[in-house]
Chains A and B, each alone.
Chain A
Amino acid sequence: MSAFSAIGSGEEREVDQNEFTPSIEPQPTWCPGCGDFGVLKALKGALAELEKDPEEVLVVTGIGCSGKLNSYLDSYGFHTIHGRSLPIARAAKLANPELEVIAAGGDGDGYGIGGNHFMHTARENHDITYIVFDNEVFGLTKGQTSPTSPMGHKSKTQPKGSAKNPIRPLSLSLTSGSSFVARTAAVNPNQAKDIIKEAVTHDGFSHIDFLTQCPTWNKDAKQYVPYTDIQQSDDHDVDLGDRRSASEMMHEAEDALYEGEVLTGRFYKDENRHAYHEEKQERGDFPSEPLAERYFEDGDWERSYDYIDRHA
């Protein structure tokens, strides 16, 4: 028997999304009307429809209101530190590629303090799903300007209004190397659920810029309605597999957002590129079975003594 029988047990069963709900405490501490509820709901729905066993899923989060996602979701969870969810999620996937690894955090967490990790995780194309709760503001620390806040955004730390251009998450993601890039919004849980499902099944780094309203600190924020799903609209035409076409569509969506037009949907999908661990494996630089599995077997372990003549 495998040491990780929650993973790929082969047993087919229907998974009720309530399996992902902790039966006793904690009650979410998010504010009423917060977009984060929408992410939680969409994620539970997606995982249930994909028939994921909660114990084969590891959700790694950063710090912020968004970082509490896995406190309200029953699965394996690692609530880490501000901005660092990705390096931890990456390693988890490398140590056990059979595990379903999902990382999540806010726009401050992911595009600010964790920006460097975002760029590199995308570049490496790890097979994980990354959900960024984009509410254009720091929620948990009470409303300061975030990397996606629009220029001119006033907060207690930028009382005269931000003089910075906002980050363009979709374009940044594409140039960094993500192989799946999408944007969805908490106000549409159905689209969100479908996009999460697609991201989770995609073999490579899937980045979802998830628009979440923060009624507490971002009173001016558009509630991301009405929004347009670019896949459903005849006005927009994007060839998902083509970088240039995707890039143009992203620019359009990013320009439009701050003018009140919310474009969502899939923006880019590269199905040909190998996920990072597969790429490594092809180079003979990655084990053929999960590292994690090995520690539970009684196999032979190499010793330094066996290599000393070669390396000493």
Chain B
Amino acid sequence: MTNDELIWRIAGGSGDGIDSTSQNFAKALMRAGLHVFTHRHYPSRIRGGHTYVEIRASDEPVKSRGDGYNFLLALGDSFARNPKEDAYYGEEEVKPLSENLDDLREGGVIVYDSGLLDVDEVENFDERVEENDWHVFDVNLRELAKEHGREIMRNTAGVGFTAALVGMELDRIEELMREAMSGDILDANLAVLQDAYDLVGEEYHVEHDVRVPTGSHDEEQVLVSGSHGIAYGALDEGCRFIAGYPMTPWTDVFTILTNLMPDVGGISEQVEDEIAAAALAMGASHTGAKAMSGSSGGGFALMSEPLGLAEMTETPLVLVESMRAGPSTGMPTKPEQADVEHVLFTSQGDSHRVVFAPSDPIECYEQTRRAFQLAYDYQIPAIVVYDQKLSGEYRNVPKSFFDQEPNPDLGSVASEEELAELPHTEGGKFHRFQHDTEEGVSPRSIPGQKGGHFLATGNEHNPAGHISEDPDNRVAQVDRRNQKLDTIREDLADESHNVVNGDDAADFGLISFGSQSGTVDEAVARLNENGDSVKHLSLSEIEPFPYDQVREFVESVDETLVVEMNSSGQLRGHIQRRLGTGEETFGSLLKYDGNPYEPAEVVEAVQHELGSVDETTSRTRLVTPGDQV
């Protein structure tokens, strides 16, 4: 494994400031000209418990967390060890060290806080250090921080120490601290940072070769997560109403937009449950605002009802589904891609929706914008499905990317002048749901508009909106609603976001979607460098299904391996169902242990399929074509 990149892992207890420290460090690296990618691992616990964040920094763009890491900053879990008494969570106190060693690369660096951690309690520590040629630095960060008055500055001390060890200037870090704090707190933090930095030169002998690479961006970058991408995309499409109920990890999008709403004259509502949340979004949309709601698996289940109503009443509705491991409450803080079928099929009847599965913060932004456009142009629900991984992982994006035109257009809404020209019943009721319209869309009116009143109902209805069970009307309405999806498919084909990477001529193909695409891309690049020939289709448009693109890809290879983070092969099932293709050429690579793929796992599985390695060692499951998932 090469050391031309820094993969820095900071580990400690939840609630010890790991998140904010790592974000600042990532920003500092980014401002120093590097490409960064963060990966967050945390338990479903508010305080205490082992957590870590990894930052991969390279002079090349990074798309995944990579395999393993090369620098560990083990901070100690202040909630595991009661500073006044002996440890009260028993073994947990050395977890920041013991839990992380498996993934540390050969030649890697370990810095641990000897004020809170004791290596003697870590099993076979010395042997492992020797075997792996790790470079260990014990430093009493806790004491150092205390000397400056606040134990909590252990993190800052750790960052200062790191900087000295990897050859990084402090100026960017100081700049960020100045932006975030002031007064005594700032002074104390700056002092701790400098002391820890100086300590390395004064008292430690450095002979490892983990160094921060040098890089340079040619323009200003910002650090954004998938959730930021979604929130910013919504904002730029003119979304000014958000309703939700907290559920991890959807809460990220909800919070970001809630923070922004007062600044942009919008409304955010935390309501009693997810049925209400989706219903509110629909109510606002019906009344002439662009609105959004969302949740994670369990909460999204409750949205099934309003989702169907939105389809039947042809009310634009944009929902976000942020997947986590299920069923039921599953593993609240672990990613999985197992809600695909849930998102595709929830709600009764022949119902339709647009489903996008973006794979990185930029796509999150773009696909959310498209979700809004399609929802409002075609009066149909649109869902953006992503997961816990993408929700909390940060990446650098050129700031200029966000310099885009807003689109507050309400889509297929008629003005009062236009309404006057459109068909009405004899009694003056607007034909909101005309049978024969271009592209299946009839213009809508907004309550309060003159000449536009109509009844919206979840029952089958005639053109004026009145409940009707007339067979001819029923067929006409169903056909028209169905037609929308075909029109949208044509629309999307011209500017598809599904991309193929790898060796064009390969006869072995991989398909993945959403948050795993970057990892699979990295694996594919490695495989092709090593002499195997593979290519990868990254799907981000799930519905309407891009038949032509997928068929073309599948037919161009002898075998397709669908890589996804669930145990039942949901994406593979969807593709086969849509293409009407049998089992013979489709295999699956599945992972459902709560952790996303690492590129090496994909590499290994493909090599196994291609016959170049015998065994696979990771916690993935490989299903060969012809076998049942």
Is A32 engaged at the interface, CB distance under 8 Å to the other chain?
no
Interface centre among A23, A76, A304, by most chain B C-beta atoms within 10 angstroms, is A304
Interface size class of B (residues with CB under 8 A): 35 or more
Q: Do the beta carbons of B287 and A286 come within 8 Å of each other?
A: no
Could you say which residues of chain A place their CB within 8 Å of the CB of B238? Answer: 295, 301
Given A88-B280, A295-B238, A295-B289, A312 and B448 contact (CB-CB distance below 8 Å) = no
Is B452 engaged at the interface, CB distance under 8 Å to the other chain?
yes
Within 8 A of B (CB), among A126-158: none
In whole angstroms, how far apart are the Cα atoms of A94 and B466 in the complex? 26
Is B15 engaged at the interface, CB distance under 8 Å to the other chain?
no
Could you say which residues of chain A place their CB within 8 Å of the CB of B260? Answer: 304, 307, 311
Chain B window 178-207, contacts with chain A (Cβ cutoff 8 Å), 1 for yes, 0 for no: 000000000000000000000000000000
Other-chain residue from B224, B231, B454, B466 in contact with A76 (beta carbon distance below 8 A) = B454
Q: Do the beta carbons of A92 and B235 come within 8 Å of each other?
A: no
Q: Do the beta carbons of A75 and B453 come within 8 Å of each other?
A: yes
Is A226 engaged at the interface, CB distance under 8 Å to the other chain?
no
In whole angstroms, how far apart are the Cα atoms of A275 and B498 in the complex? 48
Given A22-B427, A79-B455, A91-B243, A55 and B267 contact (CB-CB distance below 8 Å) = no
Chain B window 397-427, contacts with chain A (Cβ cutoff 8 Å), 1 for yes, 0 for no: 0010011111011100101100000000111
Q: Do the beta carbons of B429 and A74 come within 8 Å of each other?
A: yes
Chain A window 269-298, contacts with chain B (Cβ cutoff 8 Å), 1 for yes, 0 for no: 000000000001000111110011111100
Is B579 engaged at the interface, CB distance under 8 Å to the other chain?
no
Q: Do the beta carbons of B265 and A76 come within 8 Å of each other?
A: no
Is A160 engaged at the interface, CB distance under 8 Å to the other chain?
no
Interface centre among B232, B287, B448, B466, by most chain A C-beta atoms within 10 angstroms, is B448
Other-chain residue from B283, B403, B416 in contact with A88 (beta carbon distance below 8 A) = B283
In whole angstroms, how far apart are the Cα atoms of A96 and B306 in the complex? 20
In whole angstroms, how far apart are the Cα atoms of A304 and B229 in the complex? 10
Could you say which residues of chain A place their CB within 8 Å of the CB of B409? Answer: 295
Q: Do the beta carbons of B448 and A4 come within 8 Å of each other?
A: yes
Is A206 engaged at the interface, CB distance under 8 Å to the other chain?
no
Given A55-B448, A71-B466, A88 and B289 contact (CB-CB distance below 8 Å) = no
Q: Do the beta carbons of A81 and B447 come within 8 Å of each other?
A: no
Other-chain residue from A6, A92, A291, A308 in contact with B267 (beta carbon distance below 8 A) = A291
In whole angstroms, how far apart are the Cα atoms of A308 and B291 in the complex? 21
Interface centre among A5, A54, A285, A311, by most chain B C-beta atoms within 10 angstroms, is A311
What's the minimum C-beta distance from B213 to chain A, rounded to whole angstroms?
23
Q: Do the beta carbons of B448 and A6 come within 8 Å of each other?
A: yes
Could you say which residues of chain A place their CB within 8 Å of the CB of B308? Answer: 81
Is A56 engaged at the interface, CB distance under 8 Å to the other chain?
yes
In whole angstroms, how far apart are the Cα atoms of A287 and B241 in the complex? 11
Q: Do the beta carbons of B290 and A58 come within 8 Å of each other?
A: no
Other-chain residue from A5, A77, A99, A119 in contact with B465 (beta carbon distance below 8 A) = A77
What's the minimum C-beta distance from A123 to chain B, rounded to whole angstroms?
9
In whole angstroms, how far apart are the Cα atoms of A60 and B315 in the complex? 14
Q: Do the beta carbons of A71 and B448 come within 8 Å of each other?
A: no
Could you say which residues of chain A place their CB within 8 Å of the CB of B223? Answer: 312
In the complex formed, the residue of A with least CB distance to B458 is: A81
Is A230 engaged at the interface, CB distance under 8 Å to the other chain?
no
Other-chain residue from A285, A292, A304 in contact with B446 (beta carbon distance below 8 A) = A292
User: Known pairs A78-B455, A91-B281. 6 more at Cβ < 8 A?
Assistant: A71-B457, A88-B280, A88-B286, A95-B284, A303-B405, A308-B224
Identify the 3 closest CB pairs spanning chains A and B, nearest first: A91-B283, A23-B427, A4-B448
The 12 listed contacts between A and B (C-beta, < 8 Å) are: A23-B425, A71-B467, A76-B454, A77-B454, A79-B467, A87-B271, A88-B286, A94-B241, A94-B280, A301-B408, A303-B235, A304-B236
